[in-house]
Chain A
């Protein structure tokens, strides 16, 4: 056992190297102690070594301006092309011990191991997501298929026929292809309906096989885009009580997925689908509680092996939405659906729920004098019994203040927009992320339209201030406070979400609440550049991934869930990317400061005038 080898081997991406490749690096390794203040190399100097820090602190400089800092386990002095000179100057800021790897040997290994080299390339290109797939364990649980795109499990061309075909012809074609359903399409290939074995039974009983298939088909037909996830498809089928999902590309039928298809990929033991399918059939609260807790555990497992936030959160959102519909219908009956609108806010409104999410809801009804408080109370209580905790700040449909008529809601927004004091800014940052959860879609349209036309410049500017107020904890030696824990939500996620929200609302995107979708929309409108959009998406996904992983550990270990990430949870690479992500947020804040002419410097005055920062106690 050679200690440097053991040290290096544990650090990604060196952990990807074969023992032969490690041997190549070791064969030229030297260990040097560099005194504080000494220059390690200067810009333009021919490159002889790649450095890995064993202990100490190194700064990179360009023309005497500090660019970056590196500490234990970090690598510097890498240039992507063999033989190029150093691009910066490196100095020891503390007494530092470095492992020196001869640049030639490093490049030999870089060229022989693609995983190793793509890792460094990804880092330079700030593609943190690809990082993840490179670093992800090869072994994946069978549930992995759930977060794949539907396209991946559609193998057959769709079996289709025109609306004029007879039932007999249609069934003959189904038999010929061995499928349990046929899609009826118009001349353009767009789906008009679907004819399944269930429809055939009905035809036999009450029709004639010589009738046109269109007179016995189920219509309209549920469709999905091929880019949605397998889990979304399953969720939609469970919700609608159907077995076939038609996949369309640009409006044309491109395939059919059945519940059986999904089960085949998962095997009967897969807990998520098994439990999820039971939601529809569950008859008691206890049953739902059992289902919910098991789904959470399965999601936690997926998160802990590194499945991405963007995909898992959609799954969590589907589960919550399905539970909500189930509970509302069970408590209030289906007829209630057209009489009110149940809204999700906060992370649920943004479709960004993580595992330990509490209830954030509001209710809007049309007529004055109606009373939905009792009904909402029942729903909230049942959801709490199932295991979705109540919101401690009372942002729930059961709270009188948040269970109001449409006109009262408009008055609320009006007050908040014209008088954006601290509390009102807090309300705005919650209620500008609303998403219809259940009920009348017209109420949602009217409310969001109203918001769109009444938002004030004053409110926008105040929201922008809220987004830049908290400075990422970046210090000279990396991230400040990591030993005791850094609150990812306060320092990373909120400034980003808040900033993106301001830009979205300011650019007429009131109905778009998802941060990723908002960013894409802002890019399409040229509000932000492609690079900024890319960097923010990567940083956001990374921080949410970290948070999700952190939560999943808590769920699996049955500990209380919080958002404080501690240094011991992070491996070297996570630490590196977290630092990069916080830098991205800092520069995004600079962009907002300039755009909305707000400064952090007046935070003293503002805090005196309007109280302490709100971000930390916002609703999740």
Chain B
């Protein structure tokens, strides 16, 4: 299947920290990309009630304890979340999100296995194609590069949407670099691992 015709799903989580084994998911957002169109109307976003909540995280993503008290636990949302995750996962450092989700699904006995494409690695790969060194960039920097408004409140839905927009623009550049399918892309960027950072 051609790169542009594939089904993708841009995903972003807000978590209490970066420890994939211990930290908790606080919110989930997904924005589907079908036939290279971002289908905003089908995007999904929810808060998830954690078992414990570290107060420090609040500074980072602005989700308060009261916000979370009205939310459902992951187990109650798992079906909807799973249904919304349609296609290849896309996001900034999406491997973290993938591993968080995998742990959560495993806990409720669901086997979760998906392909994923990290837009940060795609960007690095594209840079290397252009003869540049190709450095890892923070999300804000990539957004800026693609002319997206960096002035926004950090939240899962906005980040998932912006990641989708970045990937949409990357797809065009990828086609120019001769990438014809998602499979080929995944292979190519995997050579560009985090190890060289």
Contact = CB atoms under 8 A, between A and B. Distances in A.
Interface string B29-67: 000000011111101000000000000000000000000
B41 A28 contact: yes
B147 A3 contact: no
B158 interface: yes
A55 B41 contact: no
B41 A27 contact: yes
Interface stretch (A30-38, A271-279, A306-314): A30-38
A31 B41 contact: no
A35 B37 contact: no
B38 A30 contact: yes
B9 to A, nearest CB: 14
B139 to A, nearest CB: 13
A3 B149 contact: yes
Given A3-B152, A55-B147, A31 B168 contact: yes
B165 A30 contact: no
Nearest to A105: B41
A440 interface: no
Given A6-B152, A27-B41, A31-B40, A1 B169 contact: no
A33 B152 contact: no
A204 interface: no
A50 B153 CA distance: 28
A29 B171 CA distance: 20
B104 interface: no
A6 B152 CA distance: 9
Contact of A35 (B153, B158, B172): B172
Interface residues of B, number: 22
A3 B158 contact: yes
A33 B168 contact: yes
Contacts of A6: 152
A601 interface: no
Contact of A2 (B39, B43, B165): B43
B42 to A, nearest CB: 9
B100 interface: no
Max chain A C-beta neighbours (<10 A), residue from B43, B162, B165: B165
Contacts of B40: 2, 4, 26, 29-31
Contacts of B161: 2-4
Contacts of A55: 147
Nearest to B34: A30
A1 B153 contact: yes
A97 B152 CA distance: 19
A435 B165 CA distance: 60
A95 interface: yes
B157 A2 contact: yes
Given A29-B40, A97-B165, A2 B158 contact: yes
B41 A30 contact: yes
Given A1-B152, A1-B157, A3-B158, A29 B41 contact: yes
A567 B157 CA distance: 31
Contacts of B165: 31, 97
Contacts of B171: 33
B155 interface: yes
Given A1-B152, A2-B40, A28-B41, A33 B169 contact: yes
B172 A30 contact: no
A550 to B, nearest CB: 26
The 9 closest A-B pairs by CB, nearest first: A31-B38, A29-B40, A30-B37, A27-B41, A33-B168, A32-B37, A28-B41, A3-B161, A1-B158
Given A2-B157, A31-B165, A95-B172, 20 more contacts: A1-B152, A1-B153, A2-B40, A3-B149, A3-B152, A3-B158, A3-B162, A4-B40, A4-B161, A6-B152, A28-B41, A29-B41, A30-B39, A30-B40, A31-B40, A31-B164, A33-B169, A33-B171, A35-B172, A97-B165
7 contacts: A3-B161, A28-B41, A29-B41, A32-B36, A33-B171, A97-B165, A97-B169
